Amino acid sequence: MATAQAGEGARREPEGYRAEAFGERMTGLPDETKWSLLTTEFWAMLIVIAAILIATAVSDSLNDTRGWLLVTVVATGYIVSRGIAKAGTGHLPIGALRRRT
C-alpha cells in the first residue's frame, strides 16, 4: 500500500485517505462514498473497456460498432452503479458540519 511521508515524525497515511481529506477540505463536507478514482469498480471498468477495445481490434467476429456498444454498456453500468452508491449519501449544506480534527 502506498504511503506518504512529509518528514521526520510525520504520520504515514495511505494515499486514498489523503485524497479523501483533500476533498473534505475543498467541499467542507465528508462523503460516505469514496472518490471514483479510489474504487475498485473504476479500475475494473477501465480494464474491461481496454479488453473490449483490444478484442475489437484483433477479432474478426467482433466489429467496431459492437465493440463500442459494449464499451457504452459497461460505462453506463458503472455510472448507474455510482449513482446508486451516492443516492444513499445525505448531503448537508456547506457549513452545517463542523470540521473533524
| pLDDT, position 53 | 94
Domain boundaries, the chain: 1-30, 33-87
Find residue 91's DSSP bridge partners: none
86: pLDDT confidence band, cut at 50, 70 and 90?
confident
Provide the residue type at 62 as one letter.
L
Give the span between the Cα atoms of 21 and 31, in whole angstroms: 10
- 11: phi then psi, degrees, rounded to nearest 5: -75, 145
Residues 2-39: tens digit of each pLDDT = 444 555 555 666 666 666 666 666 665 555 666 777 77
Question: What number is the average pLDDT over the span 48-52?
Answer: 96
* pTM for the full predicted model: 0.56
